Amino acid sequence: MARPRSSARTVDHPDVADVSLQQFLEALVDPVRRTVVSQLARAGKDISCGTFDVPVSLSTLTHHFNVLREAGVIRQYYVGTTKMNALRMEEMEERFPGLFPALVAAARDAAESPL
């Protein structure tokens, strides 16, 4: 099961049932955070924090990851010095049926149009 050479550092994740619609929308209304989500969705695999293509500093990016994690959108785990990020798609689907995929699709289209 990947055996991520596991680390001592752990990360807390909320139960999606405890995430409000307000929290979810506030997380996804930010263009940078939506870019992060889009890149995760497109990759189809977990991505480390530093490999995202976003126009903000690293410290700002850390902030955005925190917001996304606390909104139940992503799951994070350490692998050595790097921190991996994964979408919690199935859980979001349970919590807000249809919302997440529609949003990801809209974000994908939005990214393609000014091509």
- Report if residue 31 touches a second copy, rule: CB under 8 A: yes
Select from 88, 84, 60, 86 the least CA-distant residue to 7. Answer: 84
Tell the burial category of 2 from Cβ atoms under 10 Å away from its Cβ (0-12, 13-18, 19+): exposed
For residue 98, give the amino acid letter. Answer: G
Q: Among 1, 12, 15, 22, indicate the residue that binds a second copy (CB under 8 A).
A: 22
- Contact between 68 and a second copy by CB under 8 A: the answer reads no
80 binds, options DNA, a second copy, none, Cβ within 5 to 8 A by partner type: DNA
Contacts of 100 (CB under 8 A, 6+ apart): 89, 92, 93
25 binds, among a second copy, DNA, none (CB under 5 to 8 A by kind): a second copy
The residue ranges that bind a second copy (CB under 8 A) are 20-22, 25-26, 28-29, 31, 34, 96-99, 101-103, 105-107, 109-110
